A and B are shown apart, each in its own frame.
Chain A
């Protein structure tokens, strides 16, 4: 059974970098049928896609966050990471790491990226001095 567990500081100062890591257990992070990603949810608000990464390090980022986001993946140790630079209070949110399914019926389909079959429990990150 796949398990995703995020780790990182729960409090980040404004203008600094938010860094989170997601440890993948129970399945291979090198799976060709999945992407790995980050979704966030500000308190009381809706879901926002941040970005996603493939095991060969191909990345896709939200246009609104692209200038501040970097994602990486470590296939040897089964984890992937998020760096969000120059944070402000607007970046305060629950951050989820997720697994996307991009393979169905014998075909790969990147536009299936909205299909998320596993989520971490979520981690509240607060941006405050």
Chain B
């Protein structure tokens, strides 16, 4: 059971916008930054968003992050077939004294 809760799956059609949620509590999301990762099958995850809404160099601005209270969201606009992947949220947990991950959301581009 993950500390952070994500929907197991999400789907949308190409060109549309999809959001993936990540729910936590006061000891994690409510008091710390949120990070998002993209993972394709058989490969290592890649950082998409750090510190709630910052994009590393090279990440398209179609990807955006937001946070409100103890929940965060990853939005992907102009959806493409190659966005089909697993997406994970992560944050620091004050009780855990370390990083925690969400269970992941499998995005299907219909």
Given A96-B44, A104-B51, A114-B90, do A60 and B101 touch, yes or no (CB 8 Å)? Answer: no
The smallest C-beta distance from A52 to any residue of chain B, in angstroms, reads 7
Chain B contacts for A103, CB-based, 8 A: none
- A111 engages B88 (CB within 8 Å): no
Total A-B residue contacts, Cβ distance less than 8 Å: 66
Chain A contacts for B104, CB-based, 8 A: 46-47
- A114 engages B102 (CB within 8 Å): no
Chain A contacts for B60, CB-based, 8 A: none
- A62 engages B98 (CB within 8 Å): yes
Given A46-B88, A104-B51, A114-B90, do A119 and B98 touch, yes or no (CB 8 Å)? Answer: no
Could you say which interface size class chain B belongs to?
Answer: 20 to 34
- A111 engages B51 (CB within 8 Å): no
- B99 engages A49 (CB within 8 Å): yes
Given A61-B98, A115-B50, do A47 and B92 touch, yes or no (CB 8 Å)? Answer: no
Chain B contacts for A117, CB-based, 8 A: 47, 56
Q: Is A87 an interface residue (CB 8 A)?
A: no
- A113 engages B51 (CB within 8 Å): no
The smallest C-beta distance from B74 to any residue of chain A, in angstroms, reads 14
Q: Is A121 an interface residue (CB 8 A)?
A: yes
Q: Is A112 an interface residue (CB 8 A)?
A: yes
- A115 engages B35 (CB within 8 Å): yes
- B2 engages A114 (CB within 8 Å): no
17 A-B pairs within 8 Å (CB atoms) are namely: A46-B88, A46-B104, A47-B37, A60-B97, A63-B96, A96-B44, A111-B33, A112-B51, A113-B92, A113-B99, A114-B90, A114-B92, A115-B51, A117-B56, A119-B44, A119-B45, A121-B44
- Spell out A's residues near B (CB within 8 Å): 46-49, 51-52, 60-63, 96, 101, 104, 110-117, 119-122
